[in-house]
Structure 1
């Protein structure tokens, strides 16, 4: 009989799959190492178990102990599998930009999940780095994993992932492309491959808002490069010890939009349902195509499963809100497609200015059309209201008609976006769209800007 003693015995030996449609313009064989076939559905299973076993061996992790780690979700899943099999408790500290699916999965496998804000400095006491360290200090019989600086991370990929790739390609691999986060995967695989063939090129995929690419090219840690980004699992605002820059030949950066779009394209065009960093990785391969020759064998690693991004990259509403879906926006009705179901907020001529201010605040809007029994007769803009209030502190109790401006122009639903753009200027902040049957909607400068791809 063939069976594993426990779930940890199924980690590794993941398949290599040829990419066909997305790479049709690349003159090389492109193969994907699909790590979602690990039991925790990510490459992180490998290093999570390796880190646990090494900590057990040298006494850092003792029987009945608590494992504590800051994670984007996938390492937490790998640690959870190890904790379940080996009898440990687990606390995962995760940033609030990570998908809800990741948080729910961690709780489902018994982890306590602590959520921290994303947009804070690493040294901020609220950051998931700082909270992880504090919990480790406060929790008796605990072990803080620190996957960023724990070199067992790199060792796992040197011992497992690198040899698998070498064997699966029969030593013919010429390029390895992978997203870089903690750095363990790229450094461990690179060390093994370059020992076997120093000519193998190692490319890291970085994201905008991360420091890796510039640091690799200049040696400068530029804090101006650090800002919030959407892509999960790659990029950092620190320099982890696991990132061995001497083994990396270069980096290419991929935008949040491209990472999200290509994550979906992998599912739709290749039938490979993988996560956000895989979308970034395959787009990175396409960006690097001029580096490849027809006889080359390019291996790109896909980190995790698409199931962890169902509420994000695989959700049309989420994609559309961020302008990641290339919807064809050519006319007025296209601009209001996402909020056409919301009623038009208006104010009447005899209402008080205070009523308009309340509506601006309640609906979080900046412009309101003014109506009377004959229809649209004016408009109110928050900037004008503020200016008038500065001049007259009794403004709130005056009727709207005493402060209203000109009525907004009215256009048809089929009016071209170019014509609408001409109507919105410093003297006119919005237009109204006649949808027929007495129904109107408003288009603002924000709607125009949001339509820009």
Structure 2
């Protein structure tokens, strides 16, 4: 069952007598709360609750299995005092094991794919673990894969124990003993749908077994990133070719023994774009900070909830904190560089900030100025449209084609006021305008829009600016 809450205990120091406290950080694992997803689920008739595993002391659901696998190995005699814990991990299980190793006095050697964020690597080292990185784009049976490296280290080092989370029965058992009972108690047995990301399969399998023993009608839905083979295997029992994807810590290119596919009713695939942008929306709209796998799980939970009646109750596992992904999913530049940024999750100000790194945000002329002033701006900055102001009032627009035509047709035109070639003013949006609406304006025969904030004009956004922002170009 779940670890008991802090309570007065027989203390080894008289001052602690009667004080409620945990003897070590390991006793704080589990008993995470359920939090309702409100804004993102506004179009759902039933509530969607998130199990906040990011609030575990190590910041992820993997704290549960880190402790459980070590304790099982101690009981079985596979791990003895002074031994070394070895594991292949995308980071979170490694942190759970590193925490246990630090408390219990073991060494920890953790093998990871090189696609993991630098935050995860540095975090593991902070707990005293040795970290070895391996290439991501190799087959699991390659000698270079992080699976193979972990096996080799475990075989070569005396007293080493390979945690082997993918095939360790203590992995799903930890969730049968803790996560499942917690969900059943927290929901009063009213949970109807359980959603979890699929990686090792321990979370979904152990929790599902407990829930279905208490209510066989509970539906269990796995979330799998596009590129992983788990959805296809669940539906066909056939292996398929895996493809690379950006969401970390979920999906596989082989079949983990810790997964009991018979307990999973269906698997829904989620793209990198949907999963990662949902993680960003959770932070901005729900103040829930999670990584890409959490965004993926919530995206799948919302797909499920939209088809359900109001008497259903969907619970989704939020597996880890977003702090490990500040350089990736929660970094605008990384998202743009990987062509994953969702314009609907950003505002006109976001796009202007990105543009200002390349050129001045707003180039304009005043009514009455000579056309050669506008011509100089076109030549210097390669712009195609220039707003015309009379004081602070927007009165028109100059286009490069009209400026060029005038200059070529009449050499004296460049000395005449710009009003003679001025077209209608461009549309104006506020800096808080969602890029989704800005995109619609640009697609509706408007080559550009102006952005205003607190009465002042901040800049101009063009179709080219929008394309560069989404695609990550410079």
Which residue pairs with 1:125 in the alignment?
143
1:22 matched to 2:35: no
1:412 matched to 2:401: no
1:251 matched to 2:267: yes
Matches within 5 A, 1:330-349: 337=355, 340=358
Which residue pairs with 1:134 in the alignment?
152
Distance (Å, rounded) in 2 between the aligned partners of 1:228 and 1:290 = 29
Matches within 5 A, 1:21-420: 21-223=39-241, 226-327=242-343, 337=355, 340=358, 412=384
Counterpart contact for 2:221–2:267, Cα < 8 Å: yes
CA pair 251-447 structure 1, distance change in 2 beyond 3 A: same
Which runs of 5 or more residues in structure 1 are unaligned? 342-409, 420-442
Distance (Å, rounded) in 2 between the aligned partners of 1:208 and 1:61 = 37
Task: Single out whichever of 61-70 and 311-320 deviates more from structure 2.
Answer: 311-320
Distance (Å, rounded) in 2 between the aligned partners of 1:339 and 1:255 = 30
- Per-residue CA distance 1:190-223 (angstroms, 9 max, x = gap): 0000000000000000001100111111111112
Distance (Å, rounded) in 2 between the aligned partners of 1:326 and 1:244 = 35
Counterpart contact for 2:336–2:469, Cα < 8 Å: no
Distance (Å, rounded) in 2 between the aligned partners of 1:318 and 1:165 = 35
SS at match of 2:79: coil
Counterpart contact for 1:117–1:126, Cα < 8 Å: yes
Counterpart contact for 2:336–2:470, Cα < 8 Å: no
SS at match of 1:64: coil
CA pair 136-199 structure 1, distance change in 2 beyond 3 A: same
Task: Single out whichever of 314-323 and 201-210 deviates more from structure 2.
Answer: 314-323
Task: Single out whichever of 316-325 and 55-64 deviates more from structure 2.
Answer: 316-325
Distance (Å, rounded) in 2 between the aligned partners of 1:284 and 1:40 = 25
Relative to the length of structure 2, the TM-score reads: 0.71
Q: CA deviation at 1:140?
A: 1.2
Work out the number of aligned pairs and report it. 357
Distance (Å, rounded) in 1 between the aligned partners of 2:338 and 2:357 = 14
CA pair 110-413 structure 1, distance change in 2 beyond 3 A: farther
CA pair 259-88 structure 1, distance change in 2 beyond 3 A: same
Counterpart contact for 2:342–2:470, Cα < 8 Å: no
Distance (Å, rounded) in 2 between the aligned partners of 1:6 and 1:278 = 27
Residue from 13, 30, 35 that aligns with 1:12: 30
Q: CA deviation at 1:29?
A: 1.4
CA pair 17-96 structure 1, distance change in 2 beyond 3 A: same
Distance (Å, rounded) in 2 between the aligned partners of 1:199 and 1:85 = 41
Distance (Å, rounded) in 1 between the aligned partners of 2:22 and 2:195 = 31
CA pair 211-448 structure 1, distance change in 2 beyond 3 A: same
CA pair 340-29 structure 1, distance change in 2 beyond 3 A: same
- Per-residue CA distance 1:420-453 (angstroms, 9 max, x = gap): xxxxxxxxxxxxxxxxxxxxxxx9xx9699479x
Q: CA deviation at 1:325?
A: 2.4
CA pair 448-48 structure 1, distance change in 2 beyond 3 A: closer
Q: CA deviation at 1:338?
A: 8.8
CA pair 277-329 structure 1, distance change in 2 beyond 3 A: closer
Distance (Å, rounded) in 2 between the aligned partners of 1:79 and 1:448 = 40
CA pair 142-168 structure 1, distance change in 2 beyond 3 A: same
Q: CA deviation at 1:293?
A: 1.5
Q: CA deviation at 1:15?
A: 0.5
Distance (Å, rounded) in 1 between the aligned partners of 2:307 and 2:263 = 18
CA pair 411-66 structure 1, distance change in 2 beyond 3 A: same
Counterpart contact for 1:44–1:78, Cα < 8 Å: yes
Distance (Å, rounded) in 2 between the aligned partners of 1:66 and 1:145 = 10
Distance (Å, rounded) in 1 between the aligned partners of 2:340 and 2:357 = 17
CA pair 125-21 structure 1, distance change in 2 beyond 3 A: same
Distance (Å, rounded) in 1 between the aligned partners of 2:117 and 2:64 = 22
Relative to the length of structure 1, the TM-score reads: 0.74
